[in-house]
Structure 1
Amino acid sequence: MIHIGLTGWGDHDDLYPDRTKAKDKLRLYGQYFSTVEVDSSFYAVQPRDRMARWAAETPDDFSFIVKAYQGMTGHLRGKPYFTSTSDMYKAFRESLEPVMEVGKMRAALFQYPPWFDCNRDNVNELREVRLRMEGIPCALEFRHHSWYEDGMRERTLAFLREQGWIHSVCDEPQAGSGSIPIVPQATDSEMTLVRMHGRNVSGWHQNGAPNWRETRYLYRYNKEELMEWKGYLEQLHEQSKDVYLIFNNNSGGDAAANAQMMMELLDIPIQPFPDRTPDEEEDGPEQLELF
């Protein structure tokens, strides 16, 4: 089956009536999509009670993809919160337990930064991470081109299969070594993850710019581009029982609309978004025609 969702649920205005409270958004989100990527876990390991509440607020067939904490993927800058690597992994694993217990945990996503290139030390790090996360499905996403170039593509995919990593297949701007090509190959027979980052080449490497978060994922896919991906999804579905497609192109609020477009192309039933047209103001008193 192909499952479609978005990164996070708080910032997708298309989904919610005006003045919807933040605490109500996940429950409403579950009416439109069957899966979601939790990105708040990247910034801080989430408390168990919060994860349990999210699991309780979603339908029985709903699923979560939880992004690994930034200290686990080399993104952390500044003073570490945890006193040791073991404590960090222990806390992250424990945070996932409430979602796993109710069968809604699909994968932990380890997305590595653009400077995490293909070398022996990094390969060994991935081996160690997989051991630390034993028993939990884990998806792996690269951001450096070296994992797929100069004959390394098949070796990388073989390594993912050997180590039990789920391949995170990406659509993203082709902007040099800090981006990866579309590689529609599964490494796990049960699941493949697909993440749609948009194709905003000029905004892709703007980390550190004042408004980079507002521009990096500023992109709306057109129908032809989604039709191309329909073919890739069908190809991946032949390799994996389940394919989870996450739209991350939300700098301009485009992710929800693109996700619904893809659902229509795949003949997946959709729930129409709420009407967000502002109420027309009542006519004021008639103005005298003085001139």
Structure 2
Amino acid sequence: MNRILVGVCGWGDHDLYPPGTPSRDKLAIYAGHFPVVELDSTYHAIAPPERMERWVHETPDSFRFVVKAYRELTGHGRLERAPVRSWQEIVHDMKTSLQPMKRSGKLSMVLFQFPPWYDCSARHVRYIRKVREAFRDFPVAIEFRNQSWFTPHYQEKTLHFLEQEQLIHVVCDEPQAGQGSVPIVPAVTHPDTVLVRFHGRNVDGWNNTGRPDWRDVRYAYRYSEEELDEWVPRIRELQKKANQIILLFNNNSQGDAVDSAKMMIRKLGLNFEGLAPRQLEIL
């Protein structure tokens, strides 16, 4: 087992593919560069199990997926054309979708990323417990985007809560831009896995200022060598407490995620086993 896995968020829009590569061929090529990917299309719509099965078959045995939970499960609301379903129906559909990856052993975790307004409150704690119970048979990761969870008064309580519920803490590297951002908290709450997501440090673009391209602007950031150097000792410390560390780069609205991920691979001296054979020479 590769104890540290490095990848990026999504596989469709990166500068990895020859011009004209069909979308259907991109995952297999991606799996020659990286051993893990965040599947983020499932945030917008729950994928049919048949599609998940196809993605399982298109990747090597050692490849892993971090699957983002559907938006209605994390308080982001229903898209206009999305089907109207009860919470129980959504949970059922999400779990059914995940089964092919779970059976194959390729599901690292289901990522529940809560919105910036999702503060540290008794009501929200109860809801996370409800999620944990509903997805009891799955590894579940929790990403907070509201600073209140990590104030001096609540940080230890937050981490203890995640540990008690056997939830994976998502460590974030992101701009420090007020209440809707969280500090770097390199803590492990589940002995199996810890997830680190690199969102970039675009302070000016992080919060919604009403720009139509805001979501692209917020993730426009190129990490420097020095910024990634800061992470090497943190990752070494995390290694002592978790069996596996997954590092995912989300700073991709200007195509920087792949370069940042490969820079991190070099800094950590990683040499992945089990990549797709045709692309082994890339690394």
Q: How would you bin the TM-score normalised by the shorter chain?
A: over 0.9
Amino acid in structure 1 at the alignment position of 2:172: C
Task: Go from structure 1 to structure 2 and tell me whether the alpha carbon gap of 1:164 and 1:30 turns closer, same or farther (over 3 Å shift).
Answer: same
Pairing 1:148–2:150 present? yes
Structure 2 distance, partners of 1:82, 1:167, is 31
Higher relative contact order at CA 8 Å, sep ≥6: structure 1 or structure 2?
2
Structure 1 distance, partners of 2:199, 2:56, is 26
What pairs with 1:142-291 in structure 2 (closer than 5 Å)? 142-206=144-208, 208-269=210-271, 271=280, 273=282
Give the TM-score of the pair, scaled to structure 1: 0.91
Amino acid in structure 2 at the alignment position of 1:120: A
Task: Go from structure 1 to structure 2 and tell me whether the alpha carbon gap of 1:63 and 1:111 turns closer, same or farther (over 3 Å shift).
Answer: same
SS at match of 2:179: helix
What pairs with 1:98-117 in structure 2 (closer than 5 Å)? 98-117=100-119
Deviations 1:158-200 (A, max 9, x none): 0000011100000000000100000000001110000000000
SS at match of 1:25: helix
Match of 1:118 in 2: 120
SS at match of 1:61: coil
1:78 Cα offset (Å): 4.9
Structure 2 distance, partners of 1:60, 1:78, is 34
Structure 1 distance, partners of 2:168, 2:100, is 22
Pairing 1:64–2:54 present? no
SS at match of 2:232: helix
Structure 1 distance, partners of 2:136, 2:190, is 15
Structure 1 distance, partners of 2:6, 2:79, is 35
Tell me how large the CA RMSD over aligned residues is: 1.4
Gap regions ≥5 residues in structure 2? 273-279
Match of 1:17 in 2: 18
Give the TM-score of the pair, scaled to structure 2: 0.94
Match of 2:39 in 1: 38
Task: Go from structure 1 to structure 2 and tell me whether the alpha carbon gap of 1:203 and 1:268 turns closer, same or farther (over 3 Å shift).
Answer: same
Match of 1:279 in 2: none
1:77 Cα offset (Å): 4.4
1:269 Cα offset (Å): 2.8
1:151 Cα offset (Å): 1.5
Runs of 4+ in 1 over 3 A off after TM superposition: 77-80, 270-274
1:213 Cα offset (Å): 2.3
Structure 2 distance, partners of 1:69, 1:113, is 13
Given that 1:195 and 1:246 are in contact with CA atoms closer than 8 Å, whether structure 2 keeps it comes out as yes
1:123 Cα offset (Å): 0.6
Match of 1:280 in 2: none
Percent of pairs with identical residues: 46
Structure 1 distance, partners of 2:237, 2:249, is 19
Given that 1:82 and 1:88 are in contact with CA atoms closer than 8 Å, whether structure 2 keeps it comes out as no
Structure 2 distance, partners of 1:207, 1:88, is 32
Task: Go from structure 1 to structure 2 and tell me whether the alpha carbon gap of 1:107 and 1:220 turns closer, same or farther (over 3 Å shift).
Answer: same
Structure 2 distance, partners of 1:66, 1:21, is 23
Pairing 1:8–2:10 present? yes
